[in-house]
């Protein structure tokens, strides 16, 4: 069993030296090819001695071929093992650095040991530190688990090649030259590349990916983009490349499926016309109806969703972080900016009626505007920074047409619960994919605020959360959101009835400990005039919560950029709130 101390003791430069020596030895032997062939049958030599010599020459040639094949196989295995060890030790080193920063150590068996010398201070700051350390402990355990998993795989593969070579079991191929044998041996010496951990956490996935060598990562990206595009914990640039590669494949698959369904519909129509059996007619009619519905979904929903994604990516400076065409509705997430390098990352989750086909372009446009606004405000304050803004439609939001379906209705939290699992993984994946965590803000509108609130309760590493037009967060206690104290915010516009529903926990603007941000018309100290947001809409050009030039959007941009001190505060108690039971301790 491979231990952490074994990984620490491995010496990659020694394997590099062996790799070079084996290459030199192989080249020397292959260089004898012409000389060996020339000695096969000297001109004019005949008889039994010549025949015996030919037989011996053949045996010698075969033996040389097998030696060359064995050397080539071992050389490739050693070279790939050296590259893998470099990546494995780098990943272990990163985990040890993180462990030291948070007061942990890594035991020889991979367990995480608490070595914090300074006790955690009491109060909100101490509680936040304890939550962060608990999260980090789990993340470290997952990362080290993948280091050891990968190390065992490399050790096993290398040992298997060495054993086969020692037992002369490396195939020298069907060629006639020593160079042919070298090529055959090299093909037999490759190490396997371990697959992603089944059901892995974002930290598992991050540990697995970083433990692969650069050549293995490139090969994995080329061969299996379907494995990587939606894997939380991988770098955004990797997910983007994988999902862009999948776009064309998905379009081809859907067009082929549409053509198949068209042929099936035509054939079923012909059968129905010719049939005279009532029971057969019903069976054919049902099959015909199902085929037509499936074809309509492809033409009206799936392919237009890919079109909308393509159009959004064409704007430039975008990353496609999620692409999923399974289920009733396609899912996607697109970032404006670079999630891997931005100092501030915000993730927006929309609500009722949202579809990729109908909304990804508009939401992306508003997120790009919010990103620009946040960077502008940071520049103006002398704290220049970088921002990435993600539109996350990674769940199937409820639709107006589904209101009577208890499993999909906006009146139920069923879809939000399922979406929260995915959103929590996505948020944690951003932190896990980066060597340093960004300042991360979660934005949730309407039913999307419920999805966001439920996700935050699972623990996500989110630093700020802004809920607007919210019917409830799935809790009545701000502490349950596991966001640092004083960093949960609510915006409620005038004449927004949804914001007073309190259907999923207490009305957020009556929740003790949550900060209120204004959506009213204001004039800033620098003379800028900001517009009021009215009603429930998020992206209405003039009055929506995200409308450029609105107080609501301005406040969100400040929270996203970490400029909390400049925000315009307001609890926004309206008629709808007065009809509810008063909650003490309002902001």
CA–CA dist 509, 497 (Å, integer): 13
Environment class of 534 (CB within 10 Å of its CB; exposed 0-12, middle 13-18, buried 19+): buried
Using CA atoms, how far residue 530 sits from 178, 518, 540, 545, in Å, is 79, 11, 15, 12
**Helix or strand (DSSP H, E) at 559:** helix 551-560
120: left (phi over 0), alpha (psi -120 to 50) or beta: beta
DSSP symbol at 316: S
pLDDT of amino acid 97: 93
pLDDT of amino acid 116: 84
CA atoms in the 13 A half-sphere facing the CB of 202: 26
Distance of alpha carbon 566 from its chain centroid, rounded?
33
CA–CA dist 406, 506 (Å, integer): 22
CA–CA dist 285, 270 (Å, integer): 11
pLDDT tens figures, 251-297: 999 999 999 999 999 999 988 888 777 777 788 889 999 999 999 99
**Helix or strand (DSSP H, E) at 500:** none
pLDDT tens figures, 364-409: 999 999 999 999 999 999 999 999 999 999 999 999 999 889 889 9
* CB of 558 closer than 8 Å to CB of 564: yes
What does the pLDDT average to over 228-233? Answer: 98
pLDDT of amino acid 546: 97
- Could you tell me the two tokens for 314? 């064409």
At what angle are helices 202-210 and 48-101 packed, to 10 degrees?
Answer: 140
CA atoms in the 13 A half-sphere facing the CB of 502: 16
pLDDT tens figures, 79-126: 999 999 999 999 999 999 999 998 999 999 999 999 987 777 777 777
DSSP symbol at 206: H
Q: Is the pLDDT of residue 584 over 60?
A: no
For residue 114, report the phi and psi dihedrals to the nearest 5 degrees.
Answer: -80, 115
Query: What is this structure's pTM?
Result: 0.90
What is the domain partition of the chain in residue ranges?
4-223, 255-480
CA–CA dist 558, 556 (Å, integer): 5
CA–CA dist 546, 539 (Å, integer): 5
CA–CA dist 142, 222 (Å, integer): 26
CA–CA dist 556, 371 (Å, integer): 10
pLDDT tens figures, 473-529: 999 999 999 999 999 999 999 999 999 889 999 999 999 999 999 999 999 999 999
pLDDT of amino acid 586: 44
pLDDT of amino acid 33: 67
């Amino acid at each position: 069993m491979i231990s952490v101390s074994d990984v620490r003791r491995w010496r990659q430069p020694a394997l590099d030296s062996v790799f070079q020596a084996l290459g030199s030895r192989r080249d020397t032997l292959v260089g004898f090819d012409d000389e060996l062939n020339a000695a096969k049958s000297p001109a004019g030599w005949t008889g039994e001695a010549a025949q015996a010599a030919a037989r011996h020459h053949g045996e010698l040639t075969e033996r040389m071929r097998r030696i060359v094949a064995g050397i080539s196989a071992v050389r490739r295995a050693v070279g790939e093992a050296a590259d893998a060890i470099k990546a494995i030790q780098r990943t272990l080193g990163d985990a040890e650095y993180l462990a030291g920063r948070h007061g942990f150590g890594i035991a020889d068996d991979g367990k995480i040991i608490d070595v914090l010398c300074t006790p955690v201070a009491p109060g909100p700051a101490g509680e936040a530190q304890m939550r962060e350390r608990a999260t980090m402990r789990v993340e470290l355990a997952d990362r080290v688990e993948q280091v050891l998993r990968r190390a065992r795989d490399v050790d096993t593969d290398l040992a298997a090649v060495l054993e086969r070579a020692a037992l002369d079991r490396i195939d020298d191929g069907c060629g006639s030259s020593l160079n042919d044998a070298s090529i055959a041996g090299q093909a037999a010496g490759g190490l396997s590349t371990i697959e992603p951990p089944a059901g892995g956490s974002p930290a598992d996935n991050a540990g697995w990916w970083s433990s692969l060598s650069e050549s293995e990562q490139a090969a994995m990206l080329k061969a299996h983009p379907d494995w990587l595009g939606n894997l939380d914990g991988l770098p955004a640039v990797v997910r983007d490349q994988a999902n862009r590669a999948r776009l064309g494949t998905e379009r081809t698959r859907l067009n082929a499926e549409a053509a198949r369904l068209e042929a099936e519909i035509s054939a079923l129509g012909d059968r129905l016309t010719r049939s005279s059996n009532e029971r057969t007619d019903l069976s054919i009619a049902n099959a015909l109806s199902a085929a037509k519905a499936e074809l309509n979904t492809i033409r009206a929903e799936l392919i237009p969703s890919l079109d909308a994604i393509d159009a959004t990516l064409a704007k430039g400076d975008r990353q496609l972080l999620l692409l999923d065409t399974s289920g009733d509705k396609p899912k996607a997430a697109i970032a404006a900016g670079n999630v891997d390098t931005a100092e501030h990352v915000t993730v927006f989750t929309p609500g009722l009626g949202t579809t990729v086909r109908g909304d990804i372009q508009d939401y992306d446009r508003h997120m790009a505007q919010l990103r620009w606004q946040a960077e502008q405000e940071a520049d103006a304050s002398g704290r220049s920074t970088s921002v990435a803004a993600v539109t996350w439609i990674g769940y199937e939001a409820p639709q107006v047409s589904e209101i009577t379906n208890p499993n999909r209705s906006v009146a139920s939290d069923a879809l939000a619960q399922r979406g929260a699992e995915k959103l929590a993984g996505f948020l944690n994946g951003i932190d896990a994919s980066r060597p340093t965590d960004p300042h991360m803000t979660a934005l949730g509108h309407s039913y999307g605020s419920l999805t966001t609130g439920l996700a935050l309760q699972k623990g996500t590493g989110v630093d700020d959360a802004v809920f607007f037009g919210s019917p409830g967060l799935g809790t009545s206690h701000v502490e349950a959101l596991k966001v640092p104290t004083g960093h949960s915010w609510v915006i409620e516009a005038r004449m927004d009835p949804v914001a007073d529903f309190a259907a999923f926990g207490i009305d957020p603007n009556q929740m003790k400990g949550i900060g209120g941000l204004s959506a009213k018309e204001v004039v800033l100290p620098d003379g800028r005039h900001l517009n009021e947001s009215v009603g429930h809409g998020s992206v209405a050009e003039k009055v929506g919560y995200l409308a450029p030039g609105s107080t609501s959007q301005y406040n969100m941009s400040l929270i996203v950029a970490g400029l909390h001190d400049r925000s315009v505060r307001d609890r926004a108690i309206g008629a709808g709130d007065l009809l509810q039971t008063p909650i003490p301790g309002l902001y």
